[in-house]
């Protein structure tokens, strides 16, 4: 997979994209991440990328010209599956979106900045808009890093144990069950006995039940899929 990120402040992306799992994915050449400084595509002497809003009002607006120049330059050599704009009023990022995007080959991510971006960018250059929550940040760089992490960890070969990502919370619209590690007893706090029993079938049933229980308590909005969960788990027990 190739990801090209367009940013007004590229330095904000250096740390999150060059450590831990994302660093290993790049070293394995499973993913290629390129960060493009939007100012490099400005055509004026000041290398400015923003301007005043038509009609007046507070705040500056990200100009269309440098964004257009950057995207078109990238598209000259590569065909992109999606051109994504990170914005608070976009579609909320969820596990299903991340799963779908992890199957793509080439993605552009545009990080917003200032008061907003020229609407024509959204109308004519963007294919998908994504939000990481109903709140406003100073720019789209951190949301872009979140999106990259959620996508890249799903690509085969990135995680040492590929089944780990398949049992994450929100896969199949379920919260993950509780997990424990050694010691089995700490300050009279004990691990559930079933998990140390060695009975793999019963352990799996316990995990399924706990996943449903956690989802109903923590994310009741997902419990509408309870019939699907029960059907799936009944098949697993045959």
177 vs 179: CA distance, rounded Å: 7
Q: Are 108 and 140 in contact (CB under 8 A)?
A: no
177's tokens: 């069950």
Instruction: Look at residue 219 in the predicted model and tell me its pLDDT.
Output: 87
Instruction: Look at residue 57 in the predicted model and tell me its pLDDT.
Output: 86
Burial zone of 17 (CB within 10 Å; 0-12 exposed, 13-18 middle, 19+ buried): buried
Closest by Cα among 48, 80, 68, 71 to 118: 68
Q: Does residue 166 register a pLDDT over 90?
A: no
Q: How confident is the model at residue 175 (pLDDT cuts 50, 70, 90)?
A: confident
Residue-wise pLDDT tens digits, 144-158: 999 999 999 999 999
Its pTM stands at 0.85
Structural domains of the chain ordered from first start: 2-152 (3.40.1280.10), 167-236 (1.10.1270.20)
Q: Are 111 and 141 in contact (CB under 8 A)?
A: yes
Region of 202 please: left (phi>0), alpha (psi -120 to 50) or beta. alpha
Alpha carbon 94 to chain centroid, angstroms: 8
Q: How confident is the model at residue 234 (pLDDT cuts 50, 70, 90)?
A: low
Percent of the chain residues past pLDDT 70, beyond the cut: 88
- Taking residues 44-67, what's their average pLDDT? 92
Which helix H or strand E contains 122, and what residues bound it? Answer: helix 119-124
Q: Cβ contacts of residue 46 below 8 Å, gap of 6+?
A: none
The whole-chain average pLDDT of the chain stands at 90
- Taking residues 202-218, what's their average pLDDT? 93
Q: Does residue 231 register a pLDDT over 50?
A: no
Is the omega angle on the peptide bond into residue 10 within 30 degrees of 0, that is, cis? no
Neighbours of 103 (CB within 10 A): 11
DSSP β-bridge partners for residue 190: 185
Residue-wise pLDDT tens digits, 79-119: 999 999 999 999 999 999 999 999 999 999 999 988 889 99
Hunting for tokens 């995680």 — which residue is that?
159
- Taking residues 73-83, what's their average pLDDT? 97
Q: Cβ contacts of residue 220 below 8 Å, gap of 6+?
A: none
């Amino acid at each position: 997979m190739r990801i090209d990120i367009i940013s007004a402040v590229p330095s904000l992306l250096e740390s999150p994209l060059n450590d831990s799992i994302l660093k290993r994915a790049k070293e394995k050449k499973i993913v290629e991440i390129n960060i493009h400084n939007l100012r490099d595509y400005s055509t004026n002497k000041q290398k400015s990328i923003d301007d005043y809003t038509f009609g007046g009002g507070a705040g500056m607006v990200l100009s269309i010209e440098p964004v257009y120049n950057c995207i078109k330059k990238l598209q000259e050599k590569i065909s992109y599956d999606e051109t994504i704009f990170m914005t608070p009023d976009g579609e909320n990022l969820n596990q299903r979106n991340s799963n779908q995007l992890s199957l793509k080959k080439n993605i552009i991510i545009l990080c917003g900045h200032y008061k907003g971006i020229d609407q024509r960018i959204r109308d004519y250059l963007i294919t998908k808009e994504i939000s990481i929550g109903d709140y406003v940040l100073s720019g789209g760089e951190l949301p872009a890093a979140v999106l990259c992490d959620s996508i890249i960890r799903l690509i085969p070969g990135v995680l040492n144990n590929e089944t780990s990502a398949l049992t994450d919370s929100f896969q199949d619209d379920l919260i993950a069950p509780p997990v424990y590690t050694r010691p089995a007893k700490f300050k009279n706090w004990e691990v559930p006995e079933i998990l140390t029993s060695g009975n793999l079938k019963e352990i799996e049933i316990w995990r399924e039940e706990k996943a449903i229980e956690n989802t109903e308590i923590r994310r009741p909005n997902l419990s509408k899929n309870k019939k699907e969960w029960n059907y799936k788990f009944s098949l697993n027990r045959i």
